[in-house]
Amino acid sequence: MKAHLSRRYLFSASHRLHSDTMSEAENQATYGKCNNPFGHGHNYTLEVTVSGKVDEQTGMVCNLVDLDGFVNREVLEPYDHENLNMLPEFAEQVPTTENLCMRIFEIVQRGFHFAHLERVRLEETMMNSFEYTGAHEPRH
């Protein structure tokens, strides 16, 4: 029997949406106010969903202490109160929330082995959220 567990986390970070491969006019047309040279910040809500068999002894998909510890150490500590543009992983990639969401998914998928990662959802504002479930092979 497979069950899902979703856990929410909060962190704050800033970014400027700007691509060095586009002109100033193209950046302004594409990103609008998010292209502000001084950047802007968000209070993000991260939701990580894992799944797995419910352990007969513990009654859990995975131990929340393990999940919380991993997410705190590998995601929240590196990103909380940071300017995303200054981080190495965004040196050549625009730190959109879509790209941040995919990056967080990769971090959790690569390092958290106590349950299967189903999805990462990242809420940027009350009106914007992004979800990533991993790269899937096209069906034939």
Catalytic residues: 34, 81, 124
- In DSSP terms, 9 is beta-bridged to 46
Quote the CA–CA distance of 14 and 42 in Å, as a whole number.
6
- In DSSP terms, 40 is beta-bridged to 15
Closest CA to 70 of 112, 9, 121: 112
Structure tokens at 45: 């809500």
